[in-house]
Amino acid sequence: MQLADASFVVVDVETTGLSAASNRITEIAMVRVTGGAIADSFQTLINPEQYISPFITQHTGITNAMVYGKPTFRDALPDIKRFLAESDTPVIVGHNVNFDHGFISHSFARAGEDFVLASTEDTEHLLCTCKLARRLLPKLQRRSLKHVQDYFGIKNVRQHRAMGDAAATAKILLRFLEMAEQMDIDSLQDFLRMQNARPNYGRRKTKKQISLREEVKSFPERPGVYTMRAAKGEVMYVGKAKNLHHRVASYFAESHTAGTKLTQLMRVVKEISYEETGSELSALLLESRRIKELGPRFNSLERRYKSQSFLKLDIQNPFPKLSFSREPGQDGAEYYGPFRSRESTEALIEVLNRSFTLRECKDNFPIGPDVKPCFYHDIHRCNAPCALLESRDEYRIEVERLRQFLAAGEEGVLALVEQMMLGAAERLDFEEAQFLKIRLLELRRVLGRGERTLASINANDLVILNKTTVGHCEVLFVRFGMLAKQIVLSHSNLDNVEEWFFRQLRLYYSATPATASTAGKPEIDEMRIISHWLEQSRKRGSRVVYLGDNWEDAVMRVVRELKEVLGPKQEIVDAPGATPGSIAVPIKETAKPTVTASTRPKRIVLKPMKA
């Protein structure tokens, strides 16, 4: 299982003592972490049915009076099991997780039930953030929850209470997941094994490793893609970096964990080369292409294209409906996505069909006054245009409502599902409310990743402006969610820049079809990378201009954003061979100069800008 797809449940318990066999739980809290974010939580006080000593009260603040009348663990068990069941094979997480897991297991046993952990390839789904702190924060002398949360600057106003500690541990887990991604740990199994692996302190470096470490010091502090090769030139790994110097130098750190993919990789690497790119997005796209072309051994999870899916609205049909599609086609329909899996797309379709009265039947349905409406009309999910109970114009109004709703973005969808869930609860329809709660968690996992997945591909036309160096800006033209052109501009290009942008926008957004051509796996993978990057772009200082239906109106907005990114004109010394305002070599081209660790670092060769 990929680490990005894993679900975690962080647990914390307060107890009457230290023994799981003889003492009892007084409070339990659980926090669900999915998709790199906190998704849900649960907390309750527990009547331990035994005396809470003054020492424990002084430590936790929980008194005998506070737990009087509260549910016993047996009474709270259905809610606890329900919360755990809402995650697919969750990893149980805690700071010193064996303590929490021991109390929960004994409490389940006293209630006559088993607390069974999931597993992946014989690795139990049990994760200790205290053990991870020893591996990932080797310079931190004390690894208690308080010291780790202070290290990350995490505030915990309810120390030694279950929800306060569980929430703090969940935030620590998120930091560790980010660190694992930077260390190229992309599988759940490797992440779980890392907590018990031996630190790699003092391992003797070979002469080649020492030589490479010295040569890497000359790598530039700019975005790019690096390639690691073995003795005979075999490509072992391809990676991207915001800062090539810092990222590649981190491979030679002393604190790596023995037995992980990283240490195995560094034993065989004999050469490291790099290619500079204008921005992190360019590096992401180039990295993806290089991995697909070269199939490096240590990029095992990235060799194949990730499975994607799309939401299809066939507006070319007289009575459009929503459906699932593996890839967009040139059939006049609108496609939204890409999404990570078919299950997530179908979950979204189910929610939308419950909210908008579009048909759900097959395309070749009979129409006439004698047609008997189907089941969906009986449950008020369709107004039966087949039986002429709804005209085509009335049906089209509902289609436009749906399109406008999708254009509002992810927040609108999540707010709608939450409103539907609360409405079902108020009607005491708890079965429907539970169904919608599960759907809400699934959609938060899918839509909460910062991906602009609900933008229609046909309307996903935009211009991205990234500041590269002082006085230079990388401009990327995106058409149908895919990269159309990449260029680097500077102050020297500001003369007649309005006319130049007008010609570029007319070339890429006017002289092309109004709908996207059939997209294969490379194009879909590019859409995924760009959509994932877009919503986070402003945090990185990038500018994004959405063109809309009339690209001509966007010319001045693009020019204004370009001038703001470039800032005031300054005297700039360019790298050898680079000319201000030159065109970067398009990253779709495969022939690029490669720089090795043993040669003098240079920027990618630039060519003069042409209109």
Q: HEC string of 456-510?
A: EHHHCCEEEEEECCCCEEEEEEEECCEEEEEEEEEHHHCCCHHHHHHHHHHHHHC
214 plus 178 within the same structural domain = no
Domain presence at residue 365 = yes
Range of weakest confidence among 407-411, 461-465, 487-491: 407-411
19 plus 113 within the same structural domain = yes
Domain count along the chain = 4
In this predicted structure, the answer to whether residue 560 has a pLDDT above a threshold of 50 is yes
443 plus 463 within the same structural domain = no
Between strands 595-596 and 271-276, the pairing is antiparallel
Closest CA to 165 of 96, 106, 64: 96
342 vs 454, more confident: 342
Q: So what's the pLDDT on residue 74?
A: 94
Please tell me whether residue 337 adopts helix, strand or coil conformation: strand
User: Number of H helices and number of E strands within the chain?
Assistant: 20, 18
Choose one of 447, 479, 511: the last residue of a domain: 447
389 and 372 Cβ atoms separated by less than 8 Å: no
Q: So what's the pLDDT on residue 8?
A: 93
Q: So what's the pLDDT on residue 233?
A: 87
Structure token pair of residue 302: 């990235």
Domain presence at residue 396 = yes
Domain presence at residue 588 = no
Question: Which residue among 59, 95, 101, 160 is the active-site one?
Answer: 160
Question: What's the CA gap between 474 and 464, in Å, rounded?
Answer: 8
Question: For residue 340, what pLDDT band results from cuts at 50, 70 and 90?
Answer: low
pLDDT single digits (tens) 250-276: 787 655 554 567 777 888 888 999 998
Q: So what's the pLDDT on residue 519?
A: 58
Please tell me whether residue 444 adopts helix, strand or coil conformation: helix
Mean confidence (pLDDT) of the chain: 79
Domain presence at residue 563 = yes
Range of weakest confidence among 61-70, 239-248, 307-316, 356-365: 307-316
Mean pLDDT of 363-378: 86
Place of tokens 């926090």: 31
Question: What's the CA gap between 322 and 381, in Å, rounded?
Answer: 13
272 plus 327 within the same structural domain = no
Task: Name the amino acid, one letter, at 102.
Answer: G
Q: So what's the pLDDT on residue 577?
A: 40
What is the 3-state composition of the chain as percent helix, strand, coil, each rounded to the nearest 5?
A: 40, 20, 40
- Residues forming a β-bridge with 187: 2
Mean pLDDT of 222-237: 90
Question: For residue 611, what pLDDT band results from cuts at 50, 70 and 90?
Answer: very low
* pTM, 2 dp: 0.55
Range of weakest confidence among 20-24, 304-308, 427-431, 539-543: 304-308
32 and 9 Cβ atoms separated by less than 8 Å: yes
What is the share, in percent, of the chain residues with pLDDT greater than 70? 78
486 vs 102, more confident: 102
584 and 474 Cβ atoms separated by less than 8 Å: yes
Question: What's the CA gap between 244 and 221, in Å, rounded?
Answer: 6
Domain presence at residue 343 = yes
What is the share, in percent, of the chain residues with pLDDT greater than 90? 21
Q: So what's the pLDDT on residue 461?
A: 80
Q: First and final CA of the chain: distance in angstroms?
A: 48
Domain presence at residue 603 = no
In this predicted structure, the answer to whether residue 213 has a pLDDT above a threshold of 50 is yes
Range of weakest confidence among 67-71, 160-164, 389-393, 509-513: 509-513
Q: Is 160 designated active site? A: yes
50 plus 109 within the same structural domain = yes
27 and 162 Cβ atoms separated by less than 8 Å: yes
412 plus 484 within the same structural domain = no
CA 566 to chain centre: 30
Choose one of 194, 218, 253: the last residue of a domain: 194
Question: What's the CA gap between 66 and 549, in Å, rounded?
Answer: 61
273 plus 407 within the same structural domain = no
Question: What's the CA gap between 236 and 416, in Å, rounded?
Answer: 47
Domain boundaries, position 251: 207-302
* Alpha-carbon distances, residue 385 vs 333, 360, 394 (angstroms): 20, 12, 9
In this predicted structure, the answer to whether residue 201 has a pLDDT above a threshold of 70 is no
Q: What are phi and psi of 457, to 5 degrees?
A: -60, -40
Question: What's the CA gap between 237 and 40, in Å, rounded?
Answer: 37
Structure token pair of residue 319: 């009575």
Range of weakest confidence among 136-140, 223-227, 423-427: 136-140
Q: What are phi and psi of 160, to 5 degrees?
A: 65, 20
297 plus 335 within the same structural domain = no
Domain presence at residue 506 = yes
Q: So what's the pLDDT on residue 476?
A: 85
21 plus 44 within the same structural domain = yes
Q: What are phi and psi of 360, to 5 degrees?
A: -125, 10
265 vs 328, more confident: 265
Mean pLDDT of 297-312: 67
Domain presence at residue 368 = yes
Q: So what's the pLDDT on residue 602?
A: 40
Mean pLDDT of 120-145: 83
95 plus 122 within the same structural domain = yes
Question: For residue 66, what pLDDT band results from cuts at 50, 70 and 90?
Answer: very high
